[in-house]
Chains A and B, each alone.
Chain A
Amino acid sequence: MAKQLLSFTVNGEPVEVLVQPYVTLLDALREDLGLTGPKEGCGTGDCGACSIHLDGQLVASCLVLAMQARGRSVTTIEGLARGGTLTPLQDAFVRRGVAQCGFCIPGVLMAAAALLAENARPSEDDIRYAIAGNLCRCTGYTKMIEAISEAAGMAPRTAAGVKG
């Protein structure tokens, strides 16, 4: 099959890349553009590890064909922090020691960022629902919920290096 030209915006930059028409957006990002932050945990849209924003909407990039992104704007985990500074959400994840193996974290952060963009003051239930499409096997989700609450200004800031 002949490759097709995909022109779209990725993390704020215009990008052109030749892709096979059957390639998923996840594969195009990972294999052709070197953006390996989105992960493939299942390839069937069940685990959320490949979550990205497509025109601001949270999508599982393993369920989107690359050519469907033509002319649209994609944000991956690599584009969440601009200018070398972590977002408050990422910062809270770091300080609260959320990540263990870390494989699910990019997807969880994209889901949480989408939530906070829509709802600046989410309840705990809102947060649990918002990341229910993201499977995590290491953390039991508790520290994620706390970190997202903190980033939304709902929970007190926890300083690093303090016992307890």
Chain B
Amino acid sequence: MATVMKTTRDVKGVGLSIPRPDGPEKVTGKVQYVADIQPRGLLHAKLLRSPHAHARITRIDTSRAKALAGVRAVLTAADMPYLKKKAPTRAHAVLAIDRVVFAGQPVAAVAADEVAIAEEALDLIDVEYEVLPAAVDPLEAMKPGAPPVAEAGTEADTSEAQAHGSVSGVAAVAKPAKAVNISQQAKLARGDVAKGFAESEVIIEKTYRVPMVHQGYLEPHAVLAQWDMTGQLTLWASTQGSFNTRSEVADVLEIAENRIKVIPVECGGGFGGKIRALCEPVTAELARVTGRPVRYVMTRREELVAGMPAPQVIIRLKSGVKRDGTLMALEGEIIIESGAFSGAVLAVGAVFLASLYKWPAFEVRGFEVLTHKPSIAAYRAPVAPHTIYAIDSHMDQIADAIGQDPVAFRLRHVQREGDPMANNQPWQSNAAYEVLERLAQHPAWKAREEWKRSAPAGRLRGTGLSLGGWLGGLQPTGATVRLNPDGSLSVLTGQVDIAGTNIALAQIAATAYGIDIDKVKITTGDTDVAPMTGLSAGSKTVYTVGAAVLQAAQDARRQTLEIAAKELEAAVQDLEIEDGKVVVRGVPDKGVTIASVGRKGNLYMSKVPPVLGVANPAFTQQAPAFAGQLARIEIDPDTGEVTLHQFVVAQDVGKAINPLACEGQMQGGAVQSLGIALTEGLMYDDKGRLMNPSLLDYRKLTAADLPNIECIILEKPSPAGPFGARGVGEPPIVPAPAAIANAIEDAAGVRLTELPMTPEKIALAIAKS
């Protein structure tokens, strides 16, 4: 369909709400995701998964499955001699070798002519298991004598933390003897905690618990693999980072990275769950042994049972203050359940606990615990919603206990730029204070007493708010900007665009070069052609790739001006780009068109070099970004049902490169945050089996559950981001659990310390109070 994007003629770029140019493709069903690609000779893959959380495999017989008509390959670990018994990551555990460590772990793989045949073949694979005791509850799993998850301990994998805004200065601690399932430990301390508590007048201690939740992307994991005759592998992947997928698959399959081409197909949502490789290696192996293209698409049930969810997190906080509100001491413990493989952002969680407010003395201990459940991955600001739920629930209770205004109490103590985080790194420029201050000016906050009093008979009304944020990720990245012979620009990165970041990158290029946005085309290249580009994660796409595009566009502009300067016999510093022309400042009729510069770069026998702006920056300075959220709710105390009447997000984005896209991030993040708060949780039985493996039982919020999400954009420029931009994606998923818990306490006088805050829990708490 020939649908042309229209923009107003005076558009230059940065700061405008320009809809993403692929909108028409997305509203007509034309956009192709992995499952939509159907090459000739396609085979379909299915995986046989363990029904047990922990078991020894004593026998596998695939002979009946192999004999089924239409089956092209059946694989077990025995067919993949390069698999390591001690898999360093989940991706390496392609198929179980002799032991399964979570229910849903792949044991065998089938490729067949049709999905139905592959499914039938799974039924014909005979596996005998010797079921072993499973470590299911993290608090039990960390005790000596618990059933061991890793054979000899998995190595701590902190690459996730690197992707999401790493922290330094956290002491690693040796684990206690025989606590076999403690896979990472951290400790942070400052000041005299015992003295602080001794001198405190009010001490509050609570334990907060957040279950595993699934990232919930609508498109399940999918990959299409095909080898050519020379041993080159092509992967059409639904990934948040094609270069990362390439590295992981190369490492698992033990082949050179430049023999793998990852084509990042449109990604139907990731939110952290599509960073690490999952089903790519086994699909590649099936394609290798069959010599045919093989497509594997996970079912929703497989996603919920055996995806890579966010961890369960248990946080104990004890805080002591003076009656006048002086902070004295904080003691914290964070336990992150990582499932069967290590990989939680433990240090980030531990640092967050004691870094938001100015505790003069604190001690925080962190533990990552392995259990016989699917291993976890990032989920949008990993572990930040959990830590902020604990911190900001706590701050509200302290303010209430000493009779102080919860906002004034927070504003008095919130850390500012230059204040030391718990790891003694100084806070970078941020707007935590300004965001909270702005949110508290909202009429819904000012009129919270009136709202409370307005409750109809038999209902309770309340208001709550919370402040949360994210440190912001960093990753080196590349970009090129090419001037075409007609004067248009082509921008190339390897950045996977999920949320609409490419339009923001194009706006940056347009403004930096000095050209209309209509003349800019941006392409996400595959790993064979694109400059090395990082993950779409850590709220860092616009911050880092945007910076690379900015520099590459400036480079292209400089080259353009230098070529024009020779022709115009003028100095570069006297030149301007205006309306598609390079002109001498103050002499508007003296100029050359950008198109003529571009054309000369592609003429036979021309001596003018083609304009190619290149940038490949690395970064050192993070840009923390904060969001505050305010909820106005009504509770039916008999049923515990919460109705959201109003929900406001105030967020510092540094500079709104594209306000429309910023709002989309704020609204979507807020609803994910509300899902964690109110409805979502993976529930396991005592054998470690998932009890709610469908979207009917794993309840996500629908349009009917929600009000419109109101957005307030603040712009406190970051020192190093392009045009002052900060990361936007992650902060809005952080505050809602605490905001809702605070609103529930305001309405009903009960404090919910376990998520999700379901009607059942709320009604029981109210009944008990």
Residues of A within 8 A of B (CB): 20, 22, 30-31, 34-44, 46-47, 49, 76-78, 80-81, 84, 86, 90, 93-106, 109, 124, 127-129, 131-146, 159-164
Report the Cα distance A77→B694, complex, angstroms: 25
Residues of A within 8 A of B17 (CB): 97, 160-164
A-B contact pairs, 28 of them (CB 8 A): A31-B38, A35-B29, A36-B29, A36-B33, A39-B219, A41-B220, A41-B300, A43-B299, A78-B29, A81-B1, A84-B3, A86-B24, A94-B24, A96-B19, A97-B20, A100-B668, A102-B22, A102-B31, A103-B219, A131-B703, A132-B702, A135-B216, A137-B218, A159-B8, A160-B7, A161-B16, A162-B8, A163-B16
Q: Is the interface of B mostly helix, strand, loop or mixed?
A: loop
Interface centre among A39, A77, A94, A109 (most CB of B within 10 A): A94
Partner of A161, one of B18, B271, B667: B18
Residues of A within 8 A of B216 (CB): 135, 137
Residues of A within 8 A of B3 (CB): 84, 86
From A130, which residue of chain B is reached at the shortest CB distance?
A: B703
- B266 interface residue (CB < 8 Å to A): yes
**Residue contact B36 to A36, C-beta cutoff 8 Å:** yes
Known A-B contacts A44-B694, A86-B3, A161-B18; the reply to A39 vs B27 at CB < 8 A is no
- B663 interface residue (CB < 8 Å to A): yes
Residues of A within 8 A of B36 (CB): 30, 36
Q: Is the interface of A mostly helix, strand, loop or mixed?
A: loop
From B10, which residue of chain A is reached at the shortest CB distance?
A: A161
Residues of B within 8 A of A30 (CB): 35-36
**Residue contact A143 to B667, C-beta cutoff 8 Å:** yes
**Residue contact B29 to A140, C-beta cutoff 8 Å:** no
Report the Cα distance A71→B355, complex, angstroms: 66
Residues of B within 8 A of A (CB): 1-3, 6-8, 11, 15-20, 22-24, 26-33, 35-36, 38, 116, 215-220, 266-269, 271, 297, 299-300, 498-500, 659-661, 663-664, 667-672, 694-696, 700, 702-706, 708-709
Return the 6 tightest CB-CB contacts between A and B, nearest first.
Answer: A37-B29, A103-B268, A140-B667, A94-B23, A77-B29, A46-B695
Partner of A42, one of B26, B269, B499, B695: B695
Residues of B within 8 A of A142 (CB): 667, 706, 708-709
Report the Cα distance A134→B701, complex, angstroms: 10
**Residue contact B219 to A42, C-beta cutoff 8 Å:** no
**Residue contact A145 to B708, C-beta cutoff 8 Å:** yes
Residues of B within 8 A of A35 (CB): 29
**Residue contact B300 to A76, C-beta cutoff 8 Å:** no
From B710, which residue of chain A is reached at the shortest CB distance?
A: A142
Report the Cα distance A160→B658, complex, angstroms: 11
From B500, which residue of chain A is reached at the shortest CB distance?
A: A100
Residues of B within 8 A of A36 (CB): 29, 32-33, 35-36
Residues of A within 8 A of B2 (CB): 84
Partner of B300, one of A44, A106, A162: A44
**Residue contact A144 to B269, C-beta cutoff 8 Å:** no
**Residue contact A102 to B266, C-beta cutoff 8 Å:** yes
Residues of A within 8 A of B700 (CB): 135, 137
Partner of B702, one of A124, A135, A139: A135
Report the Cα distance A96→B700, complex, angstroms: 24
**Residue contact B218 to A135, C-beta cutoff 8 Å:** yes
Other than the known A42-B695, A138-B499, what 20 A-B pairs have Cβ atoms closer than 8 Å?
A30-B35, A36-B35, A36-B36, A42-B300, A46-B695, A46-B696, A96-B19, A97-B17, A97-B23, A100-B664, A101-B219, A132-B702, A136-B218, A137-B668, A140-B706, A141-B702, A142-B708, A144-B703, A161-B7, A162-B8
**Residue contact A100 to B498, C-beta cutoff 8 Å:** yes
Known A-B contacts A41-B220, A94-B27, A105-B26; the reply to A143 vs B702 at CB < 8 A is no
**Residue contact A47 to B29, C-beta cutoff 8 Å:** no
Interface centre among A30, A101, A133, A160 (most CB of B within 10 A): A101
Partner of B704, one of A96, A97, A132: A132
Report the Cα distance A163→B715, complex, angstroms: 14
Report the Cα distance A127→B625, complex, angstroms: 33
**Residue contact A140 to B670, C-beta cutoff 8 Å:** yes
From A27, which residue of chain B is reached at the shortest CB distance?
A: B115
**Residue contact B19 to A141, C-beta cutoff 8 Å:** no
Report the Cα distance A97→B219, complex, angstroms: 20
Shortest distance in angstroms between A139's beta carbon and chain B's nearest beta carbon?
5
Residues of B within 8 A of A160 (CB): 6-8, 17-19
